[in-house]
Amino acid sequence: MKLKTRLIIAFFVILFVPFLMFGIAFFGFTRYQMNAIEESYGVPMSLENLSDSMQLIGKSTEMVFEGLKLQAEKDADRFLDKEYLDKVNRSMEDKPSYLLVRKDKSLYYSGTSENVEKLFEELPAFREFRSSSDGGSYIGKDVRAFVKQLDVEFSDGSEGSIFIISSTKKMIVQTKRLVTDLVISVIIIMFFTAALLTIWIYTGVNTPLKKLSEATERIKNEDFDFELNETGRDEISELCRDFDEMRKKLKLQAEEKETFDRQSKELISNISHDLKTPITAVKGYVEGIMDGVADTPEKMDRYIRTIYVKANDMDRLINELTFYSKIDTNRIPYNFNRINVAEYFDDCADDVGLDLRERNIKFSYINTVAPETLIIADVEQLTRVINNIIGNSVKYMDKAEKEVQLRVRDVGDFIQVEIEDNGKGIPVKELVSIFDRFYRTDASRNSAQGGSGIGLSIVKKIVEDHGGRIWANSKLGEGTTMCFVIRKYQEVPVK
C-alpha cells in the first residue's frame, strides 16, 4: 500500500474512529450510570432526566413530598412530633436529602448534622417561592441546594414550613463520575487509536527501509550477491526495486571489471611473453654479429633478416596493444570512403600473396563481384581485418603443404569475403568464443603460436563498425573459413 494511501486512511481513522468509539463509550457509561441512579433513587431514568439535574432531584423526593402533603391535610401538628420527623428523615437516607422544619421564624427540626445556618437564612419565607421546578426551588450562592417547601398552620396559630432539602453537591456525584469516565475513555481511545496507527504506518515504512539499509551496507562492502524481494506497492517498495536494479547493474559492472582486470593481466602476460621471444632472438643474433659469428656475407644476411622479422613481430604486437586501447575507449580512427571492390581486393591479394609465397604458403584468389561494385569502408582498417585473419590462419597451420584462399562473392546487398585455410581447425564448441577478447584456442600456448589473444576481437569490432558481421566455419583437422560481409554502396535517386 502506498504511503500516501496509508496517510489518508490514518487521517480518516483519526477523524472518525474516536467519535465512533466515544459514542459507544458514552452510551455504555451513560446507561450504567442511569441504572445506578435509578437503583439509588428509585427514579425511572432517561437522557432527559440525566441532563436536567433539578428534575431528577425533584423526582427522587416526589413520593416523600406527596406523603407530607397528605399528612398536612390530616393533621399538621404531626410535624411537631420529632419521632415522626425522624422516621420521615430516615426514609431519605439513601438520597442526598434531609428534612428541615421551621416554626414561625425559628428552626424547629434539622435532619442533618451539618451546619445549616446559612441555608436556614436563605430559605424562602412562608408561602414564598422564588423559582421552582417540580414544586421546588433552587438556592444558589454558597448553599447550592434544591428545596421543596410545604407550608402549614399549626393548631396554636403559628406558621410552619416543612422543607425537603436536597444537596446538589451530593446528588451530582454520579454525573461527575460519568463525565470522568467519559473523559478517561476519550483519552484511552485517542491513545490507542494513535498508537495503533503509528505502529501500522511505522511497520509499513520501517520494514522496507530496514531491508534497504541492510542492502546499502552490503553494497558498501562490495557484496552484490543478494536480492531485495520487495513486492509491496508503496513508494519505499518501489525504491527498493529500483535499488535492486541498481544492485544488478553494479554487480554486472563489478563482474565486467573483474573480467577486464583478469583479461588485462592476461594481455600483459601474453604481450610480455610474446615480446620476450623476439627480443631474446634479436639479442642473440646481435651478439652473434658482435662476436663475429656471422663471418660470411650469407650468415650476415640471414642474421639481419631474422632480426628484421623479429622486429616486425614486436612492432605488430605493440600495434595490436595500441589498437586494443583505442577499441576499449571507442576511439578507433576511421576514414570512410567509397571503394571499388575489385580494385581493392586485387591489390590486397597481390600484397598478401607475395608475403605468403615467401613463407612457402600456397595462395589463391577468386573474385566474382561485378567490376563496378562499390562499398563504403576504411581502407587501412579493412586491410587490418584481412591481415589479422590471414596472420591468425598462418599461425595455426600444421600441414606440410600450407594453403590460404581469399574469395570475394556477391550476396545481394552485401559482398561476402571468405578466407579459407587448411590448418588444424577449431572445435565446434569453441567457434562461438573465438572473437572474444583474450580467447585462445591454444590454451597451452607456445612461443611459435603465441599472440595476444585480441586479434580476432579487433577484427570483429572493425567489421561491426562497418555495418557488417563476421563468423567462422571449421572442421577439426581440415581447416577454417572466416567469413564477413559488408553492405554495398548504392546511390538512392533524389526525386
Using left for φ > 0, alpha for ψ between -120 and 50, and beta otherwise, residue 425 falls in: left
Judge whether residue 113 has pLDDT over 80: yes
| Model confidence pLDDT, tens digit, residues 116-134 | 888 888 888 888 754 444 4
pLDDT at residue 18 above 90? no
Domain boundaries, given as residue ranges, for the chain: 3-49+175-205, 79-86+95-170, 247-331, 335-487
Structural domain 335-487, CATH architecture: 2-Layer Sandwich (3.30)
For domain 247-331, the CATH architecture is: Orthogonal Bundle (1.10)
Give yes or no for residue 427 having a pLDDT over 70.
yes
Question: pLDDT exceeding 70 applies to what percent of the chain?
Answer: 77
Q: Pairing relation of β-strands 414-421 and 479-487?
A: antiparallel
**Would you say residue 290 has pLDDT above 50?**
yes
Helix axis angle for 235-290 and 3-41, nearest 10°, is: 150
Position 278: which residue type?
P
User: Do 247-331 and 335-487 come out as alike in CATH topology?
Assistant: no
184: which 3 cell numbers? 478517561
pLDDT tens sequence across 429-453:
888 888 876 666 554 444 444 455 6
Position 46: which residue type?
S
Q: What pLDDT, in 10s, does the model give residues 478-491? A: 999 999 999 998 87
Q: Taking 70 as the threshold, does the pLDDT of residue 41 lie above it?
A: no
Terminal CA-to-CA distance of the chain, rounded, Å?
A: 60
pTM of the model: 0.48
Tens of pLDDT along 66-108?
Answer: 888 898 889 888 999 999 999 988 888 777 788 999 998 899 9
96: part of which helix (H) or strand (E)? none
